């Protein structure tokens, strides 16, 4: 472990000198998270989490800091670690440590340090766990089983984590109830379409500064993320071309005004390519061979195998980093192809991930799940539980009113009309 780290009785972070800068980032995020502000006001007054000890393992970002401080203001004791060594923002970690939060996180830590940090957050014997990737739940179940009787429940943020926890529950191996935060509509739908849509375009622009208007913008995969990217690129004046393997998704892309082509055709006419499929080998050798000079390629799908970088490396005669997060590959015939963020998620590596306004809703789901586990956790079965529909509606409602919008309400007569089956249709 690096000797340069700052260590205290309840923290280990990179550099406390970054705290003032981190605090400004947190203040900025907080001002963009009105749902969290409303929940903080209500639950700080009620002290809904009083007596709870929450161990968290989730990306240490400015938005997560808002979640941590909201949980703390609602009466909980907190101990936190980052869930990915590359996502920890050292200035945010320093600001949290300076404000007294127990936090063990620094950018670029190795695997041994990662588990050391998780173990430190378990030292205070938590009553609740809050996860992104389920490392905390796995650590409790595999290495700290003595803590299980004291744990009321946990939450999990990601699809992958939830998938594994459901498998654990099916085998009878899960020992406390878990709420699947990802499955809330106010989480995955808004994250994927609006969060990934904007931040992916943001990553492309930060890495390249190119004009999108008039460009052929090829989106591989028209799922929620692909749709978000397509919508925003079209809004900036690009001609969007979607590639798909699923007819219904391809049809949606067509009816939303985009062209649909197989990648073999799109490869030759695209100016900018973004992969958002979750599948490997979307852009391979034969595509690189026909691409235009100056083509830009990047990935916003779940994995970094969508673009076959080995094929690109094999075709190239030279490579240089021409700008941060932008590698220029020169082909034998003199054409240049630009790969962004080394094929990793462009919205995270070259931009800042989901905007705070989007994280506002994801983290409202985390917060309300902690409140639900506190009040009802003892009655929940040892299984993976969904977010209640009313919670989704309540979060969306607070978000709407914070934006000055208001809705209609069904009258009694309308509710009766909808349920009435006496007179046929
Ligand atoms: N960030 C991340 C992961 C890997 C990574 C260039 C190659 C996810 C969700 C939220 O995973 C996250 N690798 C990088 S940068 C980087 C960043 N590089 C750098 O060289 C390796 C991550 C959730 N979230 C938001 O989206 C916004 N606020 C949040 O809390 C954060 C980070």
Cα-to-centroid distance, 214 and ligand 1 (Å): 30
Residues 71, 233: Cα–Cα separation, whole Å: 37
Rg (CA), the chain: 23
User: Is 229:197 a contact under the CB 8 Å cutoff?
Assistant: yes
The segment(s) of the chain belonging to CATH 3.40.50.720 are 196-349
Q: Pocket of ligand 1, candidates 22, 29, 59: which has the most ligand atoms within 8 Å of its Cβ, to mutate?
A: 59
The predicted pLDDT at position 16 comes to 98
Report the nearest atom of ligand 1 relative to the CA of 64: 30
Q: In this structure, are strands 153-156 and 77-81 parallel, antiparallel, or unpaired?
A: unpaired
Note the pLDDT tens digit of each residue in 316-325.
999 999 999 9
Helix intervals (H) in 16-55: 19-31, 34-46
Distances (CA, A) of 120 to 12, 70, 143, 299: 10, 22, 13, 35
Element housing 367 (H / E):
helix 356-376
| Binding site membership of 348 for ligand 1 (Cβ less than 6 Å) | yes
Residue whose CA is at the smallest distance from ligand 1 atom 18: 349
Element housing 142 (H / E):
helix 135-143
Residue whose CA is at the smallest distance from ligand 1 atom 2: 87
Helix (H, G, I), strand (E, B) or coil at 420: coil
Residues 317, 365: Cα–Cα separation, whole Å: 49
Residue 128's DSSP bridge partners are 54, 153
| Binding site membership of 346 for ligand 1 (Cβ less than 6 Å) | no
pTM of the model: 0.95
The predicted pLDDT at position 4 comes to 87
Q: Pocket of ligand 1, candidates 343, 349, 357, 362: which has the most ligand atoms within 8 Å of its Cβ, to mutate?
A: 349
Residue whose CA is at the smallest distance from ligand 1 atom 31: 59
Residue 336's DSSP bridge partners are 330
Residues 165, 148: Cα–Cα separation, whole Å: 15
- 139 backbone dihedrals φ, ψ, rounded to 5°: -60, -45
Cα-to-centroid distance, 406 and ligand 1 (Å): 34
Q: What percent of the chain clears pLDDT 90, i.e. is strictly above it?
A: 95
Cα-to-centroid distance, 87 and ligand 1 (Å): 4
Q: Which residues contact 254 (CB under 8 A, 6 or more apart)?
A: 260
pLDDT band at 180 (very low <50, low <70, confident <90, very high): very high
Report the nearest atom of ligand 1 relative to the CA of 58: 30
Note the pLDDT tens digit of each residue in 213-266.
999 999 999 999 999 999 999 999 999 999 999 999 999 999 999 999 999 999
Residues 366, 324: Cα–Cα separation, whole Å: 34
Helix (H, G, I), strand (E, B) or coil at 354: coil
- The DSSP line for 225-293 is HHHHHHHHHHHTT-EEEEE-S-HHHHHHHHHTT-EE--HHHHHHH-SEEEE-SS-S-SB-HHHHHHPPT
| Binding site membership of 359 for ligand 1 (Cβ less than 6 Å) | yes
| Binding site membership of 344 for ligand 1 (Cβ less than 6 Å) | yes
The segment(s) of the chain belonging to CATH 3.40.50.1480 are 6-189+354-402
Rounded (5°) CA angle 118-123-125: 110
Note the pLDDT tens digit of each residue in 91-127.
999 999 999 999 999 999 999 999 999 999 999 999 9
Note the pLDDT tens digit of each residue in 355-387.
999 999 999 999 999 999 999 999 999 999 999
| Binding site membership of 86 for ligand 1 (Cβ less than 6 Å) | yes
User: What is the third-level CATH fold of 6-189+354-402?
Assistant: Rossmann fold (3.40.50)
Helix (H, G, I), strand (E, B) or coil at 109: coil
Q: Give 196-349's CATH code, choosing from 3.20.20.70, 3.40.50.720, 3.40.440.10, 1.10.287.890.
A: 3.40.50.720
pLDDT band at 421 (very low <50, low <70, confident <90, very high): confident
Residue 329's DSSP bridge partners are 319, 337
Residue ranges with strand state E in 27-177 = 53-57, 77-81, 102-104, 128-131, 153-156
Rounded (5°) CA angle 230-232-364: 105
């Amino acid at each position: 472990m690096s000797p340069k780290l700052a260590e205290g009785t309840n923290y280990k972070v990179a550099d406390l000198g970054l705290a003032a800068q981190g605090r400004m980032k947190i203040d900025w995020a907080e001002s963009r998270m009105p749902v969290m502000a409303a929940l903080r006001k209500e639950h700080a007054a009620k002290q809904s989490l009083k007596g709870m000890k929450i161990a968290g393992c989730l990306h240490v970002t400015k938005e997560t800091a808002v979640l941590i401080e909201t949980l703390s203001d609602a009466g909980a004791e907190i101990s936190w670690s980052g869930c990915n060594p590359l996502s920890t923002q050292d200035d945010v970690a320093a600001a949290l440590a300076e404000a007294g939060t127990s936090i063990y996180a620094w950018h670029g830590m190795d695997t041994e340090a990662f588990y050391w940090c998780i173990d430190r957050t378990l030292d205070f014997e938590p009553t609740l766990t809050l996860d992104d990737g389920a490392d905390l739940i796995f650590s409790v179940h595999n290495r700290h089983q003595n803590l299980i009787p004291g744990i009321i429940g946990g939450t999990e943020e990601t699809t992958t984590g939830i998938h594994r926890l459901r498998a654990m529950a099916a085998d009878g191996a899960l020992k406390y109830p878990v709420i699947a935060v990802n499955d809330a509509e106010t989480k995955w739908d808004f994250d994927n379409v609006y969060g990934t849509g904007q931040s992916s375009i943001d990553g492309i622009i930060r890495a390249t500064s190119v004009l999108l208007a008039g460009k052929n913008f090829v989106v591989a995969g028209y799922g929620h993320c692909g749709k978000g990217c397509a919508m925003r690129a079209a809004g900036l004046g690009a001609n969007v071309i979607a590639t798909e393997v699923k007819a219904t998704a391809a049809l949606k892309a067509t009816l939303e005004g985009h062209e649909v082509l197989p990648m073999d055709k799109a490869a030759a006419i695209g100016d900018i390519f973004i992969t958002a499929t979750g599948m490997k080998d979307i852009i391979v050798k034969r595509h690189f061979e026909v691409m235009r000079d100056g083509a830009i390629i990047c990935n916003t799908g779940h994995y970094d195998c969508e673009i076959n970088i080995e094929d690109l490396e094999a075709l190239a005669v030279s490579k240089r980093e021409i700008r941060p997060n932008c590698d220029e590959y020169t082909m034998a015939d003199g054409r240049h192809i630009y790969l962004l963020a080394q094929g990793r998620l462009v919205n995270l590596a070259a931009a800042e991930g989901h905007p705070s306004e989007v994280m506002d809703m994801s983290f409202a789901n985390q917060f309300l799940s902690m409140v639900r586990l506190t009040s009802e956790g003892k009655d929940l079965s040892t299984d993976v539980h969904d977010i209640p529909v009313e919670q989704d509606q309540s979060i969306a409602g607070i978000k709407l009113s914070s934006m000055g919008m208001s809705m209609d309400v069904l009258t009694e007569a309308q509710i009766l009309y909808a349920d009435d089956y006496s007179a046929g249709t």
